[in-house]
Amino acid sequence: MRYAETGYNLEIDLSRGSIERVETDPKLTELHLGGLGTNTKILWDRVPPETEPFSPDNLLVFSTGLLCGTPAPGANRTIVTTYSPQTLLMGYSMMGGFWAPELKYAGYDKVIFRGKSPNLIYVWINNDKVEIRDASHLRGKGAGETADLIRQELKEPKAQVAAIGLAGENRVYMASVEQGRSSASRLGIGAVMGDKGIKAIAVRGTKDINLARPAEFIKLCNEVLQYIKAREQKPVPGVMPILAGLGSPAEMKLVDEEWHTQNFMWGNARERKRDYWNKQIEEKWKETQETVRTRLISCYNCPMKCGALISVPGISTYMMKCFSKLTYTMAAFSDLDFGFRIAQRATEYGVDGFSTPQVMAFAVELKEAGILTDADFAGCPSDSEGRFYWLLDRIVRREGIGDMLANGTYWAAQQIGKGAEAYAHNNIKKHEQLPLKLGMLNPVYFLMYSTGEKINITQIEGQFPQAPFPTMEEREDFVKDWIQVPDEKFKQYLLDWEMRGERSNPYYPTVDMSVDIVDWQEMMHYIDDALGVCAGLSAFPLKPPYHIHNYPAFISSATGIDMDEAGLKQVYKRNRTLLRAVNVRRGLRRADEKPPEDHWKKRFPELEAKLLDAYYKFKGWDHQGIPTKETLQELDLAYIAEDLEQRGIIKNE
Ligand code: SF4
């Protein structure tokens, strides 16, 4: 019997119209857990590195995490993996909500798509019955609208539906996959789904998931729930409110936006409005938010309620979570009311709420600079909000300049030329980043940002505070009950971290300490993404309920695999290195691992080089960030070493 996982994947060949239920190899679960880990392995094994993202040979994998569908709180992530049209590297975007647990209950760990459908289709997975159905009547429909229509058509109100909107159908690079209470937005996953001709995947499952040692597992789950309760009553003092608690940032509860509006950049990540926030705006925005926010909502089996149902009069209700509340508002130099209104249209179109506003502001800047012309903007309203709606419509339809903008700022700038590249200034690995520009370089953030391959906002976050606490008393107070640290040394790192002087940024945490901290932070992200646990309860916040000390017991009691901390760390290293190898084989090198030039006012080239050197060395990678043969062999990845050697990527010296 298989525990925690179902032991079966669905393999759907869209070119042939075939559907197979395929048993998986339990050995791979031991080596990689599930979710991102096994997705990466599938991409390595089955998609040659020369494959174009829009080739029929590219795979699109919708995966549950290993713990999804078990009673583990917050274990609800769907991990969607493919080669990204945006970065050309491996893209893995995640969504919460209810889809992954439903897939497990239907009896599958993953749905793997290959080929392309000649017509627009949707897939209906109803336990053992799986069908490819015509979706031509859904062409052009919004993502939420599509989900509603499919549920009606199937007469199955409990079906969980992941769908694309118009943006995905038109292969817009920032197209998302939307799913009622969450979305997989980054890296162009929705564009690949549209390219394959999949409008939606509807799932209904009513089977059970087996647990190896249920009593032990339930006890651990209860401990996590109790800890969440206790932590809620004890927000971390001295940090900004959205980091004080657990979950994804509590943006839908929060009305004080002083920090975001004054510290994040506006427009195309260009301008900071230092004195923006005042009492009047606070009251106005509070009223707006409380009028449209009808209900706070959670993902499957989680008490955190990070999302909200938003009902703006005159337009359909949608779900909003996290920082997308502000991205449209700030990109258009507008008001929160506008942000809530345009986000509804953008959600139905199915676009990434981080990249899209930046792309639109980029177009406005190019127009102001005379690089884009009146002819490019023919028919566009002159007011800022009108311009944004107009641009959004052009982008998702790929009409006029929208066709180039639909490829994101990096590719659009190359196509537009005439100096447009200078305006695409906020990219890492060809993808728009958080519109945050800072004064002083923080070495941990530098490494997380530069070397991360997830390319989303949480890639810089982790269980170590982002800034030092001003007083020793605060630091001592923080470390007192810091049970999550993998090693006691981290407490000393924090105790010694000063706001100014020798032991402050950029030279403290020191290079070696920074690498240690980054490794811890990355480790938690990689474990979460393999288990399907929301980072909001683990890798992302300070002092979360899941950590390196209790995860092994969760895995052992759920799966029956004998797992301890050392073993779990080894799985993390294997998964991290495997993902790096996939991207190295696609051409990723050191030169790609750099933050935007103007991300920090002051840069420290020598220190930055040392940080990268030390990070690579720590990982067992060479100067270019390529895993060495020895490292690969140690991690049971000798077959990768062989492949990289044959390709001349690892030199046989
Ligand atoms: S912490 Fe928030 S985002 Fe994460 S599972 Fe819970 S409700 Fe969803």
pLDDT computed for residue 55 by the predictor: 98
Ligand 1 binding pocket (C-beta < 6 A) is 74, 76, 96, 247-248, 298-299, 302, 304-306, 534, 536-537
* Average of per-residue pLDDT across 506-529: 97
* Average of per-residue pLDDT across 397-421: 98
Tell how far the Cα of 138 is from the centroid of ligand 1, in angstroms: 30
Tell how far the Cα of 552 is from the centroid of ligand 1, in angstroms: 21
Q: How far apart are alpha carbons 504 and 499 in whole angstroms?
A: 5
Neighbours of 52 (CB within 10 A): 12
Tell how far the Cα of 261 is from the centroid of ligand 1, in angstroms: 24
Q: Please report the atom of ligand 1 found closest to the CA of residue 246.
A: 1
Tell how far the Cα of 625 is from the centroid of ligand 1, in angstroms: 33
Q: Which residue has a Cα nearest atom 5 of ligand 1?
A: 74
Q: Please report the atom of ligand 1 found closest to the CA of residue 247.
A: 1
Q: How far apart are alpha carbons 110 and 9 in whole angstroms?
A: 5
Q: Please report the atom of ligand 1 found closest to the CA of residue 181.
A: 8
* Average of per-residue pLDDT across 209-235: 96
Question: Is a pLDDT exceeding 80 seen at residue 249?
Answer: no
| Listed residue (576, 540, 570, 543) closest to 555, CA to CA | 570
Q: Please report the atom of ligand 1 found closest to the CA of residue 298.
A: 7
**Ligand 1 mutation pick, 78, 228, 242, 298, max ligand atoms within 8 A of CB:** 298
Residues 258-281 pLDDT 10s? 988 998 999 999 999 989 999 999
Residue 268: CB partners within 8 Å, gap ≥ 6? 331, 358, 361, 362, 364, 365, 409, 423, 425, 426, 435
Question: Is a pLDDT exceeding 70 seen at residue 13?
Answer: yes
**Ligand 1 mutation pick, 534, 538, 542, 546, max ligand atoms within 8 A of CB:** 534
The crossing angle, in degrees rounded to 10, of helices 336-349 and 143-154 is 50
| Listed residue (78, 82, 60) closest to 14, CA to CA | 60
Residues 43-70 pLDDT 10s? 999 999 999 999 999 999 999 999 999 9
**Ligand 1 mutation pick, 94, 221, 304, 538, max ligand atoms within 8 A of CB:** 304
Question: Is a pLDDT exceeding 90 seen at residue 100?
Answer: yes
pLDDT computed for residue 259 by the predictor: 86
pLDDT computed for residue 436 by the predictor: 83
Tell how far the Cα of 347 is from the centroid of ligand 1, in angstroms: 19
Which is more confidently placed, 325 or 164?
Answer: 164
Q: How far apart are alpha carbons 419 and 2 in whole angstroms?
A: 57
Q: Which residue has a Cα nearest atom 8 of ligand 1?
A: 299
Neighbours of 222 (CB within 10 A): 12
Percent of the chain with pLDDT over 70: 99
Q: Please report the atom of ligand 1 found closest to the CA of residue 74.
A: 5
Tell how far the Cα of 250 is from the centroid of ligand 1, in angstroms: 10
Residues 293-341 pLDDT 10s? 999 999 999 999 989 999 999 888 888 887 788 999 999 999 999 999 9
* Average of per-residue pLDDT across 544-558: 98
* Average of per-residue pLDDT across 163-179: 97
Torsion of CA 560, 561, 565, 571, to 10 degrees: -140
pLDDT computed for residue 122 by the predictor: 98
Residue for token pair 């903007």: 377
Q: Please report the atom of ligand 1 found closest to the CA of residue 302.
A: 6
Tell how far the Cα of 299 is from the centroid of ligand 1, in angstroms: 5
pLDDT computed for residue 385 by the predictor: 95
Tell how far the Cα of 507 is from the centroid of ligand 1, in angstroms: 35
pLDDT computed for residue 459 by the predictor: 67
* Average of per-residue pLDDT across 538-550: 96
Which is more confidently placed, 252 or 19?
Answer: 19
**Ligand 1 mutation pick, 67, 248, 296, max ligand atoms within 8 A of CB:** 248
21-27: long-range contacts, CB 8 A cutoff, minimum separation 24: 21/107, 21/108, 21/130, 24/109, 26/2
Q: How far apart are alpha carbons 411 and 408 in whole angstroms?
A: 6
Tell how far the Cα of 634 is from the centroid of ligand 1, in angstroms: 35
Q: Please report the atom of ligand 1 found closest to the CA of residue 535.
A: 4
Q: Please report the atom of ligand 1 found closest to the CA of residue 321.
A: 3
Question: Is a pLDDT exceeding 60 seen at residue 653?
Answer: no
Q: Which residue has a Cα nearest atom 7 of ligand 1?
A: 298
Tell how far the Cα of 298 is from the centroid of ligand 1, in angstroms: 6
Which is more confidently placed, 133 or 600?
Answer: 133
CB-CB contact of 331 with 339 (8 Å): no
CB-CB contact of 396 with 346 (8 Å): no
Which is more confidently placed, 191 or 251?
Answer: 191
Q: With cut-offs at 50, 70 and 90, classify the pLDDT of residue 181.
A: confident
The residue ranges of DSSP E strands in 38-180, in sequence order, are 60-64, 78-83, 90-95, 110-114, 121-126, 129-134, 160-163, 177-178
Q: Which amino acid is at 146?
A: T
**Ligand 1 mutation pick, 67, 531, 537, max ligand atoms within 8 A of CB:** 537
Tell how far the Cα of 60 is from the centroid of ligand 1, in angstroms: 24
